[in-house]
Amino acid sequence: MPEEFAAATIGVVALTLLLVALMVLYARILPAAPWTRLMAESLASAAPGVLGWLVLAPVMASNLRGIMMPSLALLGGICCFLVTLVARSAGATFARGVIYGSVWTVGVFIPTAIRTFEPFGASIPLGVAPIDHGGALVMSVAVGAGMLAVLVVERKSLIRGARKEVPVALGILALALVVVSWIGWLVGAEFAIDDTAGLIMVNGLVSAVAGAVGWIVVQLISHGVVNLKSLAGGIVSGLIAVTAGAPLFTPVSAAVAGLITGAVASVFTVRRGSPLGNQLRFLVNTHLIGGSLGVLSLGILATGSGFLFTGQTAIFQEQLLSVIATATWSFIVSSGCWWLLSRLGKRIRVPDKRILAE
């Protein structure tokens, strides 16, 4: 029991720090505004995920342990903050963003998180019970699909104004905090302090470094230039790649997963042209592609059960189905919700001809 409490405490602290670090690191994607306003809106965007989980999860889940609830509520806050970033970058009103985050929390986050952390107490769609240690399916795959849905709906109306500038020193500090807190969450997600804690930390660090190497090498070959954004994209991709299987990888397989994820995300993200386009692709690709590859890699590289160890494809098939089902459901719910909100917003905004004439 003391070990469980210690692990849960680590998870709560790590996720709190991770939320703050991501709010700072991703501020450059948002329209320029004072820091106090941006941080306040980011916290408000995360609130539906926290409150929705605390209110509805005890009703919808039957076997989740109470000690897991605070950590998973904070995970919901992070996911809700992330999934609303593209909407906020597109210039959506604060109210629309909060409504969208609330619907996404109820329709996507809560059922997906329950099926991830309570696999034997929930009704698994398609009979699928994926391996997902740190919640990569909801934190990356579902979030990435939700971002993509908003991007598809808003593709013709994205605002092109100035973005928030993040000082280099502050960006480096936020990136370092992301690494430490993300790995801390992977340790806490075990909800026990045992012999795997050391392996989880090593795998997290190795995958983050490998993700950065994969991203930077591909960008150097393609464009001949790298910057702090390249480092951030690679590190985040590597962390996402190891989230689902942190205790099930060896350091070598964690490095392979991170390297491949960073390289593939870089290929689909970095383009010549609009910096804003690259930033939005960074959001979608690092989460959707990184999370999908990380979950799938377990079917091949998981110690003792992956294809390379057993020659069997059963686990890979389970992981693949879980990625497809999660991404599809999140995209359907997200695109439908955002389309309806967009249509409602257009009806409310009736132009005043007299003012336009003046």
Cβ–Cβ < 8 Å for 284, 297: no
Distance CA(22)–CA(230), nearest Å, equals: 16
Query: Domains of the chain: which residue ranges?
Result: 2-348
DSSP string across 72-94: HHHHHHHHHHHHTHHHHHTT--H
Write down the pLDDT at residue 358. Answer: 34
Model confidence at 1, pLDDT cuts 50, 70, 90, reads: low
> Per-residue pLDDT for 353 more than 60?
no
Token digits for 173?
């500090």
The C-alpha atoms of residue 230 and residue 162 are separated, in whole angstroms, by 20
Superfamily of domain 2-348: Ammonium transporter AmtB like domains (1.10.3430.10)
pLDDT level of residue 277 (50, 70, 90 thresholds): low
Longest distance between any two alpha carbons in the chain, whole Å:
74
Res 356: pLDDT: 30
pTM of the shown model: 0.90
pLDDT for res 351: 43
Please give the pLDDT value at position 312: 83
Residues making up the chain, counted from first to last: 358
- For 124, 320, 355, the CA distances from 323, given in Å and listed in that order, are 13, 5, 50
pLDDT tens-digit profile of 319-336? 999 999 999 999 999 999
DSSP 191: S
Q: Which residues are registered as beta bridge partners of 31? A: 163
Tell me the mean pLDDT in the region 163-188.
93
> In the predicted model, what is the mean pLDDT of residues 279-300?
87
